[in-house]
């Protein structure tokens, strides 16, 4: 188990470093001169040269990378090119907002997806299964802006149950933000819901086919005990990993959803930083998202290891 | 050569296999729906400009934001352009961009997966770690960052989609190859001195194809998703192109005056995505009966 | 007075399929009394497992009981609701399945899996249930029950898991125990231990047992009564004495004729394979279901289905012509004409000191400080083979026999050693060998399903070696493919069939044709028949013998099946934990003195002949891991004849005990001879004499 843990952590660290190199180098490909972008068309050569010096743009790329990465690790994420203020507080504030939205979405779609998936598996090929798989397949493929706009049309504008726009004050507490969170959370959930339901279904069907479930049935155990103790204990194990892999989609979904609702989260900040070509801001946001994704995968691996006797107790 | 046997091989066998698997499909109505939707969209894309009553760029400012009527069955947009025509022509954009991206991903993913799985060893380890790194960045984010640097254009979107989905395809292909490699028919081929090329091309590839077809259809569905999302965020295909995602993005401004400008392209995306999803699920049932239950 | 426990009358089980309803079990009646072990024998597709599932009313969704009556004691099982059936399952009827590794929940502790049954059915408290679990684990002879109770499935060996399953099944003292091929997935020495355990437990409990198996030897060892099932119908039923002695059905005779015997081999007899196949349930013949394959068939047999008839004292047969069988004598195998001793041909293969060590996977040097671990799969094996000669290599799963074969073929690169083919030293890897070498060595693999490319027609597999290794032109290839298909008794149109249209036995015939296409001098057969039914096995063994005679090919025949090895081989090598322990002519290896391991294998082998008495010599524990090979004699941890410290400390010496017959053991050969007496296989003192 310790070995397993060390190995996983090692992998994640290497992955993070490589991912940061990718992000850094891709953003360096930007056509044109960052300094000119900041100072505008009519700046003098001299002013641009000064700014380049100030930003360290004249140093070799790998030095720039090490400087940036070192700063990132120490908590110095650089200054925004637009507002000229440190990036970190902005990112952290928006991260908090996105976390509220993502947390609420996870609370909705993980349990619901598991329940639907298990039901579909138990009723395999019958009407409930066909309905659940059909609908979940549709949800998995629908872009968030489509579902989001449909939800706004019906639930916000039509029925007036929820506000159609979630562009709240970025400083809002969870309590203040809650009414504005519901529609976006449902929107993000739908994709994840379909994904979790499908994976749970196939995992459960695989377990239901095993000899040990047949054996458990023929032991005459009550049907509920067979389901909860023998089926779910095994079939939900991979779901841990599935949830973590789904975080990648969730993060992507947040970008689109926040754009649809105007919600002040990390996703909206990324779109903004791209539109304004604010390089340090974009780099910081991207790294944070990659780090969150990697850490959630690590957490899933550890949970999986803890729950699975094969890894926990070894041979 | 295989021709020795195939030359005298009765032909009807293969067709009957396909027919029987198609018959099995009738039990799954969603699959039939999926195939039908995709087929219809393909026809529309193929004959697009012939079917469209107006040119998709034809502006008619006095006539802007008209609700659906006999002349404009889906209404007009903020420049008075016919929404129906734009959607029809736009299907070309969606299908060609997502399709080319998928094709890129499938082709390179297949090559990487085949060689990585077959060669094994350090080569395999390096390739797969590289794929892991790409996968460690959420796809939409990576797409946005790359397009931010390359600049948004049709070709760049295709490249990005292709690049992003290579790891997924490579992984699937590799796992199939790893499984096949342990089968004895591959070993029998080695024992009679077949070249690596023959083994990959004639022994392994035909067994990978069904998996590849299923994976390709799934990637296609995700590509549409990605292309539409990028279009919506304004990072994909640029105006005045009638990309559906872009249309929805632009129409948001007029949402309260003219809901149809937004509604119809969004509906088109939904329909196509659901259709492709159902089709890919059907392909899985047809080509991989009893195989991997999900991916 | 034993009371009737299971009374199943006229059971017919139907499956709904795309072709319409199919009756897979038809009109079968079974009666089992308390304390009785009823053996139900049949080949795959005979419907034996379906019948068992019907008896417990646990059929798959598309199957149902079309007609019949089912009583357990005084309870009519068919009148029970699903919930009531759940109380019967695990309480009054229990079941043990084939694959113990799959039948135990991987994420629940062993002790709990026993305890939950007794809590449910005997309404014991938590603590009482725990104690009961320990008691049951002791009953099935677990060395350390408390420790085992805390373990998970992946920490136990197959034999131990099967004991756990038996403990679960017996915990509620059921009226009926159904054992569905409980030892099929186990090695022969483990199987023997489990069979002993079942026999002993049944003397203690008076449970009625339905024992389902394909293995007649197992039936002969543990059962009291036997029913022979064929294509969903009972062909013959009676006490084992009646059935094995009189064999009043041609199918029973056929099955027994297919099993190779350990006292004679291919030189003396050829096996009597049953021609044809089990009919599919949608293509049943109108009359007797066995008629199309029967030697004694008459016109009347094809017209009406014969009923089971009681001949004497509960001995039933479905054969109309059983009277004729009585006069048919006891010949169940064809005696061959005196075979000319071939003498010693040229040396074909010489493998010296072959070793194959695998590194333990998953190690990342960065994090593991311990020194590199290795699995010593093959650890110094040498063999010599001559022209037109069969060397049998026998050993249990994991002993390294397959790895050895793969090293010879170059599919695995040996770690060290020398491989010489006709005097020429070969490179380790197949990729570096010459065309000529490749042509001379071919292989038939174990798993028929994996041995042909599912996307290529069968003929393609046979045509490729002809093109590559024989340089034939198109027309010659086609001619040759036809000839080869004929040689392995496959019709010509099979050339165009895809593998999924062939049965397991047919696929293996194609694989044999493919191997022979290159016209090899040496052919390695890696368990080529293990996954097939006995009647198919017999036909394939005969085919291999015939082909060897006509072509002079040498075989390296690898198998865990002692009887098959004995039948086919001129020379036998016994392997355990990557090393040879005994080698010699087939006749010598099977008579004393033999190595204690060979002795245990022979003693464990289930033999379908009641006249044969076998000493009960059983191995302790399970095979040690090839990562931690025991010191000294690596068999000492399990050896029933261990003599003391010397076995743990010193590697045993090779002793010559006859004509090139060698044994690797610390016990002097003369002493072994004295200990083992005349040998294990004594005629006339078996169960029939008791």
The answer, yes or no, to whether residue C339 has pLDDT greater than 60, is no
Interaxial angle between packed helices A144-151 and B244-251, expressed in degrees from 0 to 180 and rounded to the nearest 10: 40
Buried b (16+ CB within 10 A) or exposed e, C581-594: bbbbebbbbbbbbb
**Cα–Cα dist B105/B32, whole Å:** 26
**Cα–Cα dist C369/C355, whole Å:** 26
**Cα–Cα dist C667/C592, whole Å:** 13
Beta bridge partners of C587: none
For residue C571, count CB atoms less than 10 angstroms from its CB and return exposed for 0-12, middle for 13-18, buried for 19 or more. Answer: buried
Eight-state DSSP code of residue C79:
G
Taking the Cβ of residue B15 and every Cβ of chain C, the question of whether any pair is shorter than 8 Å is answered with no
pLDDT band at C627 (very low <50, low <70, confident <90, very high): confident
At B85 the pLDDT is 84
Place of tokens 């803890």: A306
**Cα–Cα dist B203/B205, whole Å:** 6
On chain C, the residues whose CB falls within 8 A of the CB of A313 are 152, 155
pLDDT digits (tens, 9 = 90+) for B172-212: 999 999 999 989 999 999 999 999 999 999 999 999 999 99
**Cα–Cα dist B16/B43, whole Å:** 27
Taking the Cβ of residue C253 and every Cβ of chain A, the question of whether any pair is shorter than 8 Å is answered with no
User: Mean pLDDT across the stretch C293-314?
Assistant: 88
Pairing of strands C522-526, C554-559: parallel
Shortest CA gap C94–chain A (Å): 7
Q: List the single residue in A with minimal CA-CA distance to C90.
A: A219
- In the structure encoding, which two tokens stand for residue C157, read together? 């060996």
User: Mean pLDDT across the stretch C188-216?
Assistant: 92
- In the structure encoding, which two tokens stand for residue B240, read together? 């005045």
Shortest CA gap B266–chain A (Å): 6
- In the structure encoding, which two tokens stand for residue B226, read together? 């990605």
On chain B, the residues whose CB falls within 8 A of the CB of C518 are 192
Shortest CA gap C207–chain B (Å): 39
Please judge whether A143 and B232 are an interchain contact, meaning their C-beta atoms are less than 8 angstroms apart.
Answer: yes
pLDDT band at C327 (very low <50, low <70, confident <90, very high): low
Of chain B residues 173-232, which have a CB less than 8 A from chain A?
221-222, 224-225, 228-229, 232
Q: What are phi and psi of C250, to 5 degrees?
A: -60, -30
**Cα–Cα dist A181/A98, whole Å:** 10
At C366 the pLDDT is 43
pLDDT digits (tens, 9 = 90+) for A226-283: 999 999 999 988 888 888 888 888 888 899 999 888 899 999 999 988 888 888 888 8
Question: B interface mutation test: which of C362, C450, C466, C513 has the most B CBs within 10 A?
Answer: C450
**Cα–Cα dist C147/C133, whole Å:** 12
Question: B interface mutation test: which of C456, C458, C480 has the most B CBs within 10 A?
Answer: C456
Shortest CA gap B20–chain C (Å): 11
Interfacial residues of C (vs B; Cβ cutoff 8 Å): 409-411, 430-431, 433, 435, 438, 441-443, 445-447, 450-457, 459-461, 463-465, 467-469, 474, 477-478, 481, 495-496, 498, 511, 514, 518
On chain B, the residues whose CB falls within 8 A of the CB of A300 are none
Please judge whether B266 and A150 are an interchain contact, meaning their C-beta atoms are less than 8 angstroms apart.
Answer: yes
Pairing of strands C225-230, C309-312: unpaired
Please judge whether C468 and B188 are an interchain contact, meaning their C-beta atoms are less than 8 angstroms apart.
Answer: no
At B22 the pLDDT is 63
**Cα–Cα dist B157/B246, whole Å:** 13
pLDDT band at B293 (very low <50, low <70, confident <90, very high): very low
**Cα–Cα dist C379/C489, whole Å:** 39
* The dihedral sign for the CA sequence B98, B117, C523, C436: positive
Interaxial angle between packed helices A279-307 and A87-122, expressed in degrees from 0 to 180 and rounded to the nearest 10: 40
The answer, yes or no, to whether residue C340 has pLDDT greater than 60, is no
* The dihedral sign for the CA sequence A135, A137, A142, A143: positive
Q: Is C457 left (phi over 0), alpha (psi -120 to 50) or beta?
A: beta
pLDDT band at B292 (very low <50, low <70, confident <90, very high): very low
Buried b (16+ CB within 10 A) or exposed e, B99-109: bbbbbbbbebb
pLDDT band at C65 (very low <50, low <70, confident <90, very high): very high
Residues above pLDDT 70, as percent of chain C: 94
Q: Can you spell out the DSSP letters for B166-212?
A: HHHHHHHHHHHHHHHHTSHHHHHHHHTT--HHHIIIIIIHHHHHHHH
- In the structure encoding, which two tokens stand for residue C421, read together? 């083919």
**Cα–Cα dist A303/C685, whole Å:** 61
**Cα–Cα dist A304/B259, whole Å:** 47
pLDDT band at B24 (very low <50, low <70, confident <90, very high): low
Which among A14, A28, A198 is the nearest to B294, CB-wise? A198
At B257 the pLDDT is 75
Torsion of CA B126, B132, B134, B138, to 10 degrees: 180
Q: List the single residue in B with minimal CA-CA distance to A135.
A: B274
- What are the residue ranges of helices labelled H in chain B? 2-6, 12-25, 29-51, 83-119, 121-135, 139-150, 154-181, 184-191, 196-198, 205-232, 244-251, 259-287
CB atoms within 10 A of CB C339: 11
At A69 the pLDDT is 86
User: Mean pLDDT across the stretch C160-167?
Assistant: 94
The answer, yes or no, to whether residue B27 has pLDDT greater than 50, is yes
At C1 the pLDDT is 60
Q: Can you spell out the DSSP letters for A275-299?
A: HTT-HHHHHHHHHHHHHHHHHHHHH
On chain B, the residues whose CB falls within 8 A of the CB of C468 are 192-194
pLDDT band at C277 (very low <50, low <70, confident <90, very high): confident
Torsion of CA B26, B31, B37, B41, to 10 degrees: -120
Task: Please name which of C274, C253, C215, C217 lies closest in space to residue C331, comparing C-alpha atoms.
Answer: C253
User: Mean pLDDT across the stretch C116-134?
Assistant: 94
At C185 the pLDDT is 86
The answer, yes or no, to whether residue B61 has pLDDT greater than 80, is no
Of the CA atoms within 13 Å of residue B145, those in its CB half-sphere come to 32
**Cα–Cα dist B176/B113, whole Å:** 9
User: Mean pLDDT across the stretch C99-127?
Assistant: 93
Which among A215, A310, A315 is the nearest to C97, CB-wise? A215
User: Mean pLDDT across the stretch C3-21?
Assistant: 90
Please judge whether B188 and C450 are an interchain contact, meaning their C-beta atoms are less than 8 angstroms apart.
Answer: no
At B3 the pLDDT is 47
Between the CA of residue C214 and those of B77, C43, C530, what are the distances in Å? 76, 6, 13
pLDDT digits (tens, 9 = 90+) for B114-168: 999 998 889 998 999 889 888 888 889 999 988 888 888 889 999 999 999 999 9
pLDDT band at C338 (very low <50, low <70, confident <90, very high): very low
Beta bridge partners of C270: C334
Write down the mean pLDDT value for chain C. Answer: 88
Pick out chain A residues at pLDDT < 50: 315
Angle at C114 between CA C110 and CA C119, to 5 degrees: 135
User: Mean pLDDT across the stretch C90-113?
Assistant: 93
Q: Interface pTM (ipTM) of the complex?
A: 0.86
pLDDT band at B253 (very low <50, low <70, confident <90, very high): confident
At C577 the pLDDT is 93
Minimum mean pLDDT among A25-34, C137-146, C262-271: which range? A25-34
Q: Is C443 helix (H, G, I), strand (E, B) or coil?
A: strand
Show the 3-state SS of C14-44.
EEEECCEEEEEEEEEEEEEECCCEEEEECCC
Between the CA of residue C81 and those of C76, C77, C118, what are the distances in Å? 11, 9, 22
User: Mean pLDDT across the stretch C483-505?
Assistant: 90
The answer, yes or no, to whether residue C681 has pLDDT greater than 80, is no
CB atoms within 10 A of CB C673: 17
**Cα–Cα dist C512/B188, whole Å:** 11
Q: Is C331 helix (H, G, I), strand (E, B) or coil?
A: coil
A135 or C524: which leads in pLDDT: C524
**Cα–Cα dist A247/A295, whole Å:** 10
Q: What are phi and psi of C229, to 5 degrees?
A: -105, 135
Residues above pLDDT 90, as percent of chain B: 35
Q: Is B9 helix (H, G, I), strand (E, B) or coil?
A: coil
Residues above pLDDT 90, as percent of chain A: 29
On chain A, the residues whose CB falls within 8 A of the CB of B224 are 141
Q: Is C584 helix (H, G, I), strand (E, B) or coil?
A: strand
- Chains in touch with A (3+ beta-carbon pairs under 8 Å) read B, C
**Cα–Cα dist B37/C396, whole Å:** 57
At B21 the pLDDT is 61
At B1 the pLDDT is 40
Identify the helix (H) or strand (E) that includes residue A184.
helix A174-208
Which among B5, B8, B191 is the nearest to C409, CB-wise? B191
At C687 the pLDDT is 59
For residue C177, count CB atoms less than 10 angstroms from its CB and return exposed for 0-12, middle for 13-18, buried for 19 or more. Answer: buried
The answer, yes or no, to whether residue C530 has pLDDT greater than 60, is yes
Write down the mean pLDDT value for chain B. Answer: 83
- In the structure encoding, which two tokens stand for residue B66, read together? 């008209």
The answer, yes or no, to whether residue B10 has pLDDT greater than 80, is no
Buried b (16+ CB within 10 A) or exposed e, B182-216: ebbbbbbbbbbbbeeebbbebbbbebbebbbbbbb
The answer, yes or no, to whether residue C362 has pLDDT greater than 70, is no
At B245 the pLDDT is 86
pLDDT digits (tens, 9 = 90+) for B89-126: 888 888 999 999 999 999 999 999 999 999 888 999 89
Identify the helix (H) or strand (E) that includes residue C615.
none
Which among C435, C446, C474 is the nearest to B193, CB-wise? C435
User: Mean pLDDT across the stretch C593-614?
Assistant: 88
- In the structure encoding, which two tokens stand for residue B30, read together? 């969603």
Task: Please name which of A282, A281, A294 lies closest in space to residue A245, comparing C-alpha atoms.
Answer: A294
**Cα–Cα dist A224/A196, whole Å:** 22
pLDDT digits (tens, 9 = 90+) for A196-242: 998 999 999 999 999 999 999 999 999 999 999 999 999 988 888 88
């Amino acid at each position: 188990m310790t070995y397993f843990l060390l190995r996983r952590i090692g992998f994640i660290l290497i992955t993070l470093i490589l991912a940061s190199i990718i992000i850094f180098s891709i953003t360096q490909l930007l056509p044109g001169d960052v300094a000119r972008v900041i100072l505008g068309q009519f700046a003098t050569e001299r002013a641009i040269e000064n700014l380049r010096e100030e930003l360290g743009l004249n140093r070799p790329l790998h030095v720039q990378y090490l400087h940036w990465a070192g700063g990132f690790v120490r908590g110095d994420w650089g200054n925004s090119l637009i507002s000229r203020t440190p990036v970190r507080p902005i990112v952290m504030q928006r991260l908090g907002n996105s976390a509220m939205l993502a947390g609420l979405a996870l609370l909705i779609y993980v349990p619901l997806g598991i329940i639907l998936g298990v039901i579909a598996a138990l009723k395999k090929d019958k009407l409930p299964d066909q309905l659940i798989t059909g609908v979940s397949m549709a949800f998995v493929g629908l872009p968030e802006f489509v579902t989001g706009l449909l939800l706004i049309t019906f639930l916000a504008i039509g029925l007036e149950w929820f506000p159609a726009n979630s562009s709240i004050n970025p400083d809002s507490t969870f309590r203040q933000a809650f009414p504005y969170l519901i529609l976006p959370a449902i929107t993000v959930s739908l994709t994840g819901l379909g994904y979790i339901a499908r994976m749970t279904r196939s995992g459960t069907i695989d377990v239901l086919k095993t000899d040990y479930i047949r054996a458990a049935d023929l032991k005459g155990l009550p049907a509920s005990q067979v389901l909860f103790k023998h089926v779910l204990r095994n079939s939900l194990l991979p779901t841990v990993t599935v949830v973590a892999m789904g975080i990648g989609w969730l993060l992507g979904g947040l970008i689109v959803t926040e754009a649809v609702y105007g919600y002040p989260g990390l996703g909206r900040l990324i779109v903004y930083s791209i539109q304004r070509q604010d390089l340090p801001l974009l780099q910081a946001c991207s790294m944070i998202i990659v780090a969150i994704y990697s850490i959630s995968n690590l957490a899933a691996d550890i949970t999986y290891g803890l729950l699975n006797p094969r890894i926990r107790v070894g041979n | 050569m295989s021709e020795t046997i195939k030359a005298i091989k009765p032909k009807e066998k293969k067709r009957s296999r396909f027919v029987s698997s198609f018959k099995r499909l009738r039990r799954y109505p969603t699959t039939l729906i999926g195939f039908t939707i995709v087929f219809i969209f393909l026809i529309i894309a193929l004959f697009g400009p012939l079917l469209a009553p107006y040119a998709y760029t034809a502006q008619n400012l006095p006539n802007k934001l008209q609700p659906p009527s006999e002349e404009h069955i889906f209404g007009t947009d903020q420049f008075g352009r016919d929404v129906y025509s734009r959607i029809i022509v736009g299907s070309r954009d969606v299908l060609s961009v997502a399709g080319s991206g998928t094709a890129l991903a499938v082709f390179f993913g297949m090559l990487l997966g085949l060689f990585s799985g077959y060669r094994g060893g350090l080569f395999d380890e390096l390739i797969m770690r590289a794929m892991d790194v790409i996968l460690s960045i959420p796809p939409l984010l990576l797409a946005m960052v790359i397009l931010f640097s390359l600049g948004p254009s049709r070709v760049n979107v295709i490249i990005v989609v292709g690049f992003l989905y290579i790891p997924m395809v490579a992984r699937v292909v590799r796992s199939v190859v790893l499984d096949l490699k342990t089968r004895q028919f591959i070993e029998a081929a080695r024992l009679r001195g077949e070249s690596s090329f023959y083994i990959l091309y004639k022994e392994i590839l035909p067994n990978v194809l069904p998996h590849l077809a299923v994976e390709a259809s799934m990637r296609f569905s995700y590509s549409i998703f990605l292309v539409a999302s990028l279009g919506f965020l304004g990072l994909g295909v640029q105006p005045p192109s009638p990309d559906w995602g872009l249309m929805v993005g632009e129409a948001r401004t007029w949402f309260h005056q003219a809901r149809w400008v937004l509604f119809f392209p969004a509906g088109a995306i939904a329909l196509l995505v659901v259709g492709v999803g159902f089709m890919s699920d059907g392909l899985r049932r047809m080509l991989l009966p009893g195989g991997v239950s999900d991916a | 007075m034993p009371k009737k426990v299971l009374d199943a009358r006229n059971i017919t089980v139907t499956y709904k399929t795309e072709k319409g309803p199919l009756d897979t079990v038809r009109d079968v009646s079974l009666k089992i009394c308390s304390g009785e072990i009823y053996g139900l024998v049949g080949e795959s597709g005979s419907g034996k497992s379906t019948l068992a599932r019907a008896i417990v009313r646990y059929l798959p969704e598309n199957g149902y009981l079309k007609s019949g009556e089912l009583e357990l004691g005084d309870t009519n099982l068919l009148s029970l609701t699903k919930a009531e059936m759940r109380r019967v399952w695990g309480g009054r009827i229990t079941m043990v399945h084939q694959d113990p590794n799959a039948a135990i929940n991987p994420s629940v502790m062993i002790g709990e899996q026993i305890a939950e049954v007794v809590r449910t059915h005997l309404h014991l408290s938590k603590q009482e249930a725990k104690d009961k679990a320990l008691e049951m684990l002791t009953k099935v002879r677990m060395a350390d029950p408390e420790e085992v109770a805390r373990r998970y499935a992946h920490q136990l060996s197959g034999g131990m898991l099967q004991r756990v399953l038996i403990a679960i099944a017996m915990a509620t003292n059921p009226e009926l125990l159904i054992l569905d091929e409980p030892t099929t997935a186990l090695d022969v020495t483990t199987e023997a231990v489990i069979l002993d355990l079942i026999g002993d437990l049944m003397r203690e409990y008076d449970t009625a047992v339905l024992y389902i198996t394909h293995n007649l030897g197992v039936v002969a060892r543990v059962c009291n009564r036997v029913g022979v099932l064929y294509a969903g119908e009972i062909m013959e039923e009676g006490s084992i004495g009646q059935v094995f002695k009189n064999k009043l059905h041609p199918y029973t005779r056929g099955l027994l004729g297919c099993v190779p015997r350990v006292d004679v081999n291919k030189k003396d007899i050829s096996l009597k394979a049953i021609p044809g196949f089990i009919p599919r349930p949608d293509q049943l013949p109108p009359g007797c279901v066995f008629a199309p394959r029967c030697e004694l068939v008459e016109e009347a047999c094809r017209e009406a289905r014969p009923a089971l008839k009681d001949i004497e004292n509960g001995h039933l047969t479905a054969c109309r012509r059983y009277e004729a069988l009585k006069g048919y004598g006891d010949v169940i195998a064809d005696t061959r004409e005196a075979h000319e001793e071939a003498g010693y041909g040229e040396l074909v293969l010489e493998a010296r000191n072959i070793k194959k060590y695998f590194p333990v996977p998953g190690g990342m040097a960065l994090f593991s400080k311990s020194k590199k671990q290795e699995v010593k799969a093959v650890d110094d094996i040498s063999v010599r083979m001559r022209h037109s000669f069969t060397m049998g290599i026998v050993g249990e799963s994991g002993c390294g026999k397959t790895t050895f074969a793969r090293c010879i073929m170059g599919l695995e690169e040996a770690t060290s050693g020398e491989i010489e083919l006709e005097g020429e030293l070969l490179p380790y890897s197949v990729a570096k060998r010459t065309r000529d070498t490749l042509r001379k060595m071919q292989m038939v693999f174990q798993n028929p399903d994996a041995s042909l490319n599912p996307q290529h027609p069968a003929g393609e597999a046979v045509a490729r070696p002809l093109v590559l290794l024989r340089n034939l032109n198109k027309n010659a290839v086609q001619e040759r493919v036809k000839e080869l298909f004929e040689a392995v008794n496959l019709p010509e149109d099979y050339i165009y069939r895809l593998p999924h249209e062939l049965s397991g036995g047919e696929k293996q015939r194609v694989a044999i044709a493919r191997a022979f296409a290159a016209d090899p001098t040496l052919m390695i057969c890696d368990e080529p028949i293990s996954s097939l039914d006995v009647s198919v096995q017999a036909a394939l063994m005969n085919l291999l013998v015939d082909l060897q005679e006509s072509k002079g090919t040498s075989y390296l025949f690898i198998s865990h099946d002692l009887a098959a090895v004995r039948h086919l081989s001129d020379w036998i090598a016994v392997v355990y934990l990557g090393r040879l322990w005994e080698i010699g002519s087939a006749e010598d290896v099977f008579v004393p003195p033999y190595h204690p391991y060979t002795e245990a294998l022979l003693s464990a082998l289930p033999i379908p002949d009641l006249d044969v008495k076998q000493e009960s010599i059983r191995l302790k524990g399970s095979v040690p891991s090839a990562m931690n090979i025991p010191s000294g004699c690596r068999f000492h941890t399990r050896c029933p004849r261990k003599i003391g410290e010397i076995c743990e400390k010193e590697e045993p010496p090779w002793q010559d005990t006859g004509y090139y017959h060698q044994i690797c053991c610390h016990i002097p050969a003369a002493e072994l001879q004295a200990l083992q007496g005349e040998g294990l296989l004594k005629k006339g003192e078996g169960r029939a004499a008791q």
